[in-house]
Amino acid sequence: MIQKNQYFFTVLLFFLFLLGSAGMALAQQYSITVSSGEIDRSGSVVSFYFPEDVDPGVYRMTAENGEETLLQVGDNNKASFILDHLAAGESRNYQADLNPQPTDPVVRKEIDDVLITFFTGDRKILSYYHRDNTPPAELDDRYKRGGYIHPIKSPSGILLSSHLNPDLHPHHSGIWSAWTRTQFQGRTPDFWNPHANSGRVDQADSLEVAWEGPVHAGLKAKHHFVDLSASAPVIALNEEWEVKVYPGAGNGEFLMFDLKVTQTANTAQPLVLPEYHYGGVGFRGHLDWNDPDNVTFLTSEGLGRDGHGTRVKWTHIGGHSDGELAGIAIMSHPSNYRHPQTVRIHPDEPFFNYAPTQLGEMSIEPGSPYVVKYRYITYDGEPDPDQINQMWMDFAYPAGVTVRSQN
């Protein structure tokens, strides 16, 4: 009798296992509907979350017209793919087959002792200093740091950024993040100007994670805002960067990457940011652009250098680098604090940043992170304002996605 009961119990468990496995298989089939809304989509990055656990990896989706698209799934069930084209007001249905697909990464990474560099094909897009740089002999160790992006390239390989310039603002480093005028625990550390000896920003022990894939590659890294004006150094802010690098846009006319910055108070005291005309995430252009006659600015509102202090959605900066004309557009997301954010455009130099402190005092409070998102696109030749604006619209108001399980 006992043996019969054991046999029955074993058969029942096997049956339940098969039933559960079938249910899991069904749960791994999804119908995905993408809606363009009121915007024409072309080469758009589309992201969404699966309602159930999906292993990170690369999968295949098939559209109703039979075309196949690769789907990249990362942590937390977040999936992304590139939408080739979808006219305003239209929608498209896909069936997702969540069987892993072995593929070579379209956007790949290379890591050495100091830099992580991202490529699409043989084209270099950007590098990030995950370890300290090596300043030239004219500069002391105060300028030794990591945690910033440089170099940045145009689609044809033209250099767009600079760093460690001994003659002019050597603390400007490609794309970097810092605050200038601050109040913290009764002191006034300056994290922007390391030569002031009151504060600095350091990368926090290399990369946290880095990846590559057919839709995007990227990294996450942590930085520390260190107050040096206390009797002993104090970390005032913890900062996380998430960088996502894409294969390109506009049939290869553009290279594109996103930067998400999250800053959190490291102590029970806030970092207060009084009104000031610059500070935040900065950009320093090519050395040739130090000649004001060799560089132009253009804001989304049609202004040039006179756009300083205005609220804009995007800003172009570009000029001739080693004799070749190229540029970069820096886009601000509508979710950013005080959107549209005001901008700092230097009257003579190739420097730009979104500076929300121009509109008055702000603070980063314990338990309330400060988060900003920016998109960067690079291109050769003159900027096309209409196309840049279209790409900003796509960044600001992404396509809608509905996900249905096919159980």
Summarize pLDDT for 19-62 with one digit per residue, the tens. Answer: 444 444 444 789 999 999 999 999 999 999 999 999 999 999 99
CB 352, CB 296: distance < 8 Å: no
pLDDT of residue 17: 46
Nearest to 374 by CA among 283, 266, 305, 239: 283
State the Cα–Cα distance between residues 243 and 67, nearest whole angstrom: 29
pLDDT of residue 176: 98
- Domain span(s) for CATH 2.60.40 in the chain: 2-103
- Domain span(s) for CATH 2.70.98 in the chain: 107-396
Gyration radius (Cα) of the chain, Å: 24
State the Cα–Cα distance between residues 127 and 129, nearest whole angstrom: 7
Domain 107-396 is found in CATH 2.70.98 = yes
Residue 243: beta bridge partners?
219, 259
Does 151 sit behind a cis peptide bond, omega within 30 degrees of 0 on the bond before it? yes
State the Cα–Cα distance between residues 397 and 46, nearest whole angstrom: 11
Q: Apex CA 209: angle with CA 203 and CA 211, to 5°? A: 130
The continuous run of DSSP H or E covering 21 comes out as helix 2-27
pLDDT of residue 406: 82
CB 227, CB 198: distance < 8 Å: yes
pLDDT of residue 407: 65
pLDDT of residue 6: 52
Q: Which residues of the chain have pLDDT under 70?
A: 1-27, 407
pLDDT of residue 233: 97
Tokens standing for 24? 């899991």
CATH topology of domain 2-103: Immunoglobulin-like (2.60.40)
pLDDT of residue 16: 43
Helix (H, G, I), strand (E, B) or coil at 321: strand
State the Cα–Cα distance between residues 64 and 317, nearest whole angstrom: 41
pLDDT of residue 206: 72
State the Cα–Cα distance between residues 30 and 22, nearest whole angstrom: 15
